């Protein structure tokens, strides 16, 4: 009896990693087909062209995870129910500054709607959910891959909503695997940045002398990962049967970079440009969270809009620096045969790329 061909239902295929995961899975399994859920068919056309996806193996259905039934018509649902064997759910609202209700609408309700629809897919064998390592929220210390606790609270609504989404997946009764990537910053080879996020925004504030202090100990480590590592990992592991019921942290882990070293590397890289070096912009002071909150309060009171915006943007993620944690990656490393690239192996390349593309201007409109 032959193994039936996989037909994978993708969400988030136009996002930071989803499309690359799809491309890699199609390349690895010539028999695999996919259906992508997209909100905008025109945008998907552009993405699929850019990814050079093989013709005839990927279909698109227009819908929205925020809507019950994914906003799919009955006519669309019937063939899906006949074919789909696996789900890779990568759609998410990754903006840290969203109000909780807005974050939940995509990150929690989106999972619920997808699980509801998938309940009518009799061939479904795997539900692969892309979460975040920062569901750990305000916890500190070693964060184990199997842990599900949310008792310490969260720094932002993104973290909380993704934590809640994980619970829905676990309680679904499906065969699931959960991936918890750390914050994705760039591609490992050339340091290219596909999509700006809070890290790039924070770097811009440091670069432009708008971030005088950070709430962190010198030894607190910055855990970020390259986009290609995360995409490759999910592509390889999403359908592996031996990972049923497992949570895998796709993090730098022991390759995370201490804040002090990260600032050293960053200032050294920027200082190679005379026009930046001559500004004499000081390195931010690392301080405790109480002092940092006093600074935030002072900026709010004195109310200069530019600095206030900068400090508010930092407030959605900078407090994570004051909550030192070390992500356990043993299960992911074992499944992949090795760890994520250490941050120090590509951080400087990313900085060079950012400067070369003038990211300070480009990132100004990006929400934290």
Partner 1 sequence: MTGRPGITAIAYALPACSRSVRELGAAGQLQTDPEVLENFGFGRVHIAVAESPYELAYRAAARLLEEQAVDAASIDLVIYSGPPGTLSLTPAAQPWNGAALSSTARFQYPGTLLQFELGLLNASVLGIDQLACSTLFGALRVARSLCVTEGIERVLCVHAEFFPAAAGREAVFNCTSDAACAVLVERVALRNCIAASVHVTKGYYWDGDALKNEIVASYFPTSKHVIERVIAAAGWNAADVDWIIPHNVSLRSWELLLSLLALPNTRLWTDNIARYGHSLAGDNFINLRDALDGGAVRPGQKLILFSYGYGAHWTALAVEA
CB nearer to partner 1: give 137 or 284.
284
Stretch 47-86 residues interacting with partner 1 (CB under 8 A): none
Contacting range for partner 1; rule: CB under 8 A; set: 23-31, 142-150, 247-255, 290-298: 290-298
- Contact between 267 and partner 1 by CB under 8 A: the answer reads no
307 binds partner 1 (CB under 8 A): yes
Please tell me the distance from the alpha carbon of residue 5 to that of residue 33, in angstroms, as a whole number: 8
Do residues 318 and 239 make contact, with C-beta atoms less than 8 angstroms apart? Answer: no
Taking CB under 8 A as the criterion, the residue among 58, 108, 136, 211 binding partner 1 is: 211
Pick the binder of partner 1 from 39, 192, 289, 295 (CB under 8 A).
Answer: 295
Least distance between partner 1 and beta carbon 206 (Å): 10
Q: Does 273 participate in binding partner 1 (rule CB under 8 A)?
A: no
Each residue 219-258 as x (binds partner 1 by CB under 8 A) or -, in order, gives: ----------------------------------------
Comparing CB distances to partner 1, the nearer of 100 and 213 is 213
Task: Note whether 289 binds partner 1 by CB under 8 A.
Answer: no
Residue 56 CB, nearest approach to partner 1 (Å): 55
Q: Is 287 in the site for partner 1 (CB under 8 A)?
A: yes
Stretch that binds partner 1, among 191-199, 232-240, 293-301, 356-364 (CB under 8 A): 293-301
Q: Which of 301, 337, 358, 361 binds partner 1 (CB under 8 A)?
A: 301
Of residues 120, 114, 132, the one with CA closest to residue 37: 114
363 binding partner 1? (CB under 8 A): no
Q: Give the shortest CB-320-to-partner 1 separation in angstroms.
A: 20
Distances 350 to 48, 182, 269, 343 between C-alpha atoms, Å: 25, 16, 10, 10
Query: Residue 163: CB partners within 8 Å, gap ≥ 6?
Result: 135, 137, 150, 154
CA distances from 284 to 118, 226, 320, 351 (A): 49, 25, 16, 17
Minimum distance of partner 1 from residue 287's CB (angstroms): 6
Q: Is 285 among the residues that bind partner 1 (CB under 8 A)? A: yes
What is the closest distance, in whole angstroms, from the C-beta atom of residue 266 to partner 1 in the complex?
Answer: 14
Give the C-alpha distances (Å, rounded to integers) separating 267 from 10, 263, 283.
40, 6, 7
Asked if 361 interacts with partner 1 (CB under 8 A), we say no
Pick the binder of partner 1 from 142, 283, 330, 364 (CB under 8 A): 283
Which of 43, 149, 268, 294 binds partner 1 (CB under 8 A)? It is 294
Segment near partner 1 (CB under 8 A), from 3-11, 24-32, 151-159, 295-303?
A: 295-303
From candidates 21, 281, 322, 368, binder to partner 1 by CB under 8 A: 281
217 binding partner 1? (CB under 8 A) = no
What residues line the site for partner 1 (CB under 8 A)? 208-213, 278-285, 287-288, 290-291, 294-295, 298-299, 301-302, 304, 306-307, 310
């Amino acid at each position: 009896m032959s193994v039936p061909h996989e037909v994978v239902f993708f969400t988030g295929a136009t996002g930071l990693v989803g499309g690359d995961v799809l491309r890699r899975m199609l390349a690895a399994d010539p028999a695999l087909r996919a259906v992508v859920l997209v909100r905008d068919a025109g945008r998907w056309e552009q993405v699929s062209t850019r990814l050079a996806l093989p013709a005839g193996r990927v279909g698109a259905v227009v819908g929205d995870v925020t809507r019950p039934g994914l906003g799919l018509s009955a006519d669309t649902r019937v063939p899906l129910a006949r074919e789909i064997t696996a789900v890779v759910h990568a759609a998410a609202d990754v903006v840290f500054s969203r109000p909780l209700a807005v974050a939940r609408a995509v990150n929690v309700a989106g999972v619920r709607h997808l699980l509801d629809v998938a309940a009518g897919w009799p061939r479904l064998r795997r539900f692969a959910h892309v979460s975040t390592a920062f569901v750990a929220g305000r916890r500190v210390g070693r964060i184990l891959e199997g842990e599900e606790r949310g008792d310490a609270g969260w720094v932002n609504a993104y973290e909380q909503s993704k934590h809640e989404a994980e619970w829905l997946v676990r309680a679904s009764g499906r065969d699931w695997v959960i991936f918890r990537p750390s914050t994705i910053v760039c591609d490992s080879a050339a340091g290219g940045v596909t999509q700006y996020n809070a890290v790039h925004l924070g770097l811009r504030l440091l670069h432009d002398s708008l971030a005088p202090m950070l709430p962190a100990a010198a030894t607190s480590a910055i855990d970020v990962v390259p986009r290609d590592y995360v995409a490759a990992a999910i592509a390889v592991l999403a359908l592996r049967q031996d990972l049923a019921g497992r949570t895998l942290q796709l993090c730098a882990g022991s390759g995370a970079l201490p804040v002090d070293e990260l600032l050293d590397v960053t200032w050294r890289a920027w200082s190679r440009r005379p026009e930046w070096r001559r500004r004499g912009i000081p390195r931010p002071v690392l301080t405790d969270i109480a002092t940092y909150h006093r600074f935030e309060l002072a900026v709010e009171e004195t109310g200069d809009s530019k600095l206030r915006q900068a400090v508010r943007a930092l407030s959605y993620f900078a407090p994570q620096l004051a909550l030192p944690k070390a992500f356990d990656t043993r299960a992911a490393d074992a499944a992949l045969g090795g760890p994520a690239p250490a941050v120090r192996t590509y951080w400087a390349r990313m900085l060079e790329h950012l400067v070369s593309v003038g990211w300070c201007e480009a990132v100004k409109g990006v929400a934290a």
